Amino acid sequence: MEISADRDGNTFYLNMGPQHPSTHGVLRVILKMNGEYIQEAECVLGYIHRMHEKIGESMFFSQFYAYMSRMDYLSAMAYNHGYTGLIEKMAGIEPPLRAEYIRVITVELNRISSHLVWLGAYLLDLGAFTPIMYAFDDREMILDLLESITGSRLTYSYFRFGGVCKDIDEDFIRGTRAFIKKMRSRLKMYDTLVTKNVIFIGRVKDIGIISQDMARRYGATGPVLRGSGIEYDIRKNEPYSVYPEFDFDIPTGSTGDARDRYLVRVAEIEQSLRIIEQALDRLPDGPYRTEIPPFIELEPGDCYFPVESARGEFGIYLVSNGEKRPYRMKLRTPSFSNLSLFNELTKGYMIADAVSILGSLDLVIPEIDR
């Protein structure tokens, strides 16, 4: 951190990042401070900007898969799901039912692994070193499972238009069931280890309260919004894939502080486990992929398709002019909107609370910068 003072001596500027551990990537925040209190927090973005929207305009539809997983590297499956869903909707491709089930299973596993990284890293920001060890241990099981079917550990390109690239096998199903059982017992452990910890509560309770109106004006989605008590989840409100067939709840908070956002994410892990369990029980037989031609041409027109990623609403707005490449592809990422309320949110809080608030938003910087 660098410090520079104003002439009057009361306010001074504190530079946080872009290489600061609590920003989880290359985010820079210029804090205008009055003593230990924050007056303004200006985020400086773009350190990892790669212009995915422009790259998309110069590629065939199937070539863009690899880029989709490199935006949000923690829940890459959900991004692939959004892209696949959009093109299938626009092109009128019907994937087989088994493929949809496999997609939901892998996306939900990926969601749990994403929440586990957040859990460990957030508590590490707050000064608790132990939970990250447990969280990464559990996450390792998920990564091994997904590696066994997708071949990659983080940036998956597993989905294809009209299905998935490889079927799941008995080993994967057995391993996933074992993981569900283990994760349930671990959730109890996290609960006793973290949730009621007095130091933890002191750092998160009544910190960074997001009101419902504020969330609406900034377009916050995902756990950040649900922490404020709004029951809004694209999986329920705007059903896609086979989500309507599963029975699961949307956890919500009440006050909208950092603790509520923590509770919502931890409760979401259990709901994802429920979805995976039901999907495994009802997994239909049949093909996992339909044959489609190597090149897809969409008819001219535009379409918006959103999915629920681990951080909120990820949507793609695609404009097609009838060629093999998109004319324009807008990627709406959840962290972008979730971070934009940071300035208003941190006003009047102390510097240590800014770290707590930043962590509770669960940011992935490459998805903001794209």
Interface residues with other proteins (CB under 8 A) are: 45-46, 49, 51, 53-54, 89-93, 215-220, 225, 230, 232, 237-238, 293-306, 313, 315, 317, 319-324, 327-328, 330, 332, 336-337, 340-341, 344, 369-370
CB atoms closer than 10 angstroms to residue 11: 15
Residues near 328 by Cβ (< 8 Å), separated by ≥ 6?
53, 57, 317, 318, 319
* Closest approach of other proteins to the CB of residue 45, in Å: 6
- What are the structure tokens assigned to 121, written together? 């890293």
* Closest approach of other proteins to the CB of residue 324, in Å: 6
* Closest approach of other proteins to the CB of residue 185, in Å: 35
CB atoms closer than 10 angstroms to residue 190: 19
What letters, b where the CB count within 10 A reaches 16 and e where it falls short, cover 119-154?
bbbbbbbbebeebbebbbebbebbbebbeebbeeee
* Closest approach of other proteins to the CB of residue 305, in Å: 6
Cα separation, 193 vs 283, in Å, equals: 35
CB atoms closer than 10 angstroms to residue 217: 12
What is the sign, positive or negative, of the torsion defined by CA atoms of 159, 69, 155, 50? positive
34 by DSSP, 3-state: which? strand
Output 175 or 219, the one with its CB closest to other proteins.
219
Give yes or no for a contact between 116 and 75, defined as CB atoms under 8 angstroms apart. no
Output 172 or 240, the one with its CB closest to other proteins.
240
* Closest approach of other proteins to the CB of residue 35, in Å: 25
Output 143 or 230, the one with its CB closest to other proteins.
230
Output 45 or 97, the one with its CB closest to other proteins.
45
Query: How long is the chain?
Result: 370
Output 60 or 73, the one with its CB closest to other proteins.
60
Output 131 or 326, the one with its CB closest to other proteins.
326
Output 169 or 299, the one with its CB closest to other proteins.
299
* Closest approach of other proteins to the CB of residue 64, in Å: 16
Q: Alpha-carbon dihedral of residues 192, 194, 200, 202, nearest 10 degrees?
A: -30
* Closest approach of other proteins to the CB of residue 189, in Å: 34
What is the sign, positive or negative, of the torsion defined by CA atoms of 351, 356, 361, 365? positive
Output 53 or 167, the one with its CB closest to other proteins.
53
Eight-state DSSP code of residue 293 = -
* Closest approach of other proteins to the CB of residue 115, in Å: 22
* Closest approach of other proteins to the CB of residue 133, in Å: 35
Reading across the β-sheet that carries 37-44, which strands appear in turn? 2-5, 11-16, 28-34, 37-44
What are the C-alpha distances in Å from 120 to residues 114, 115, 153, 204, 316? 10, 9, 18, 15, 30
Output 41 or 132, the one with its CB closest to other proteins.
41
